[in-house]
Amino acid sequence: MKIASPIPAAYLIPAAQLWWAAFAPPLSPGPPLVRACHGIAAIDAAGRLGGVAGLRDSGGGFLAGLPMAARLLYRAAPPTADLVIDGIVAARRGQGVGRALLENASGAARRSGHPGLRAEVEVRNHAAMAFYAALGFAEIGRGRFGWPWSGPVALLRRPV
């Protein structure tokens, strides 16, 4: 598996589609524009997209923009000096793709001077909570961030 960041142009639309399928609010229009420089792609030996991670910092996130309605509904988590995982999704679970994307994000955080990685995860997403815990993330807080229907969100952090 090859890890690429920024996301190569040939993989940008499939990466946006995969990410959007996992994280889009209900009734959202098709995949939005995304920023290649705020993403990481996992590409398998056959050249297929195996997963994608979005990243967010003070310069923005993986999404290049949201529709006005989405901007009005979305509740941001408190600011941080950490590099934020702006969603991570693998095409197939259990292949090590998520771990590889996260380790690449950790390296990106170190290189750009961020003290850690932060993830904002819906508490009811038990698989994601377990994934981050297994990779050394600790809960540092909870709140009602993200979409109004998301429920409680855990702020998870791992130093780099």
pLDDT bucket at 25, cuts 50 / 70 / 90: low
Q: Which pLDDT belongs to residue 71?
A: 67
Residue 28 pLDDT > 90, yes or no? no
How would you classify residue 73: left for phi > 0, otherwise alpha for psi between -120 and 50, otherwise beta?
Answer: alpha
H-helix or E-strand spanning residue 69: helix 68-73
Q: What is the pTM of this model?
A: 0.91
Cβ within 8 Å of residue 132, ≥6 positions away: 119, 121, 156, 158
pLDDT bucket at 68, cuts 50 / 70 / 90: low
User: Taking residues 57-84, what's their average pLDDT?
Assistant: 83
Domains of the chain: 2-159 (3.40.630.30)
Please state, rounded to an integer, the average pLDDT across all residues of the chain: 91
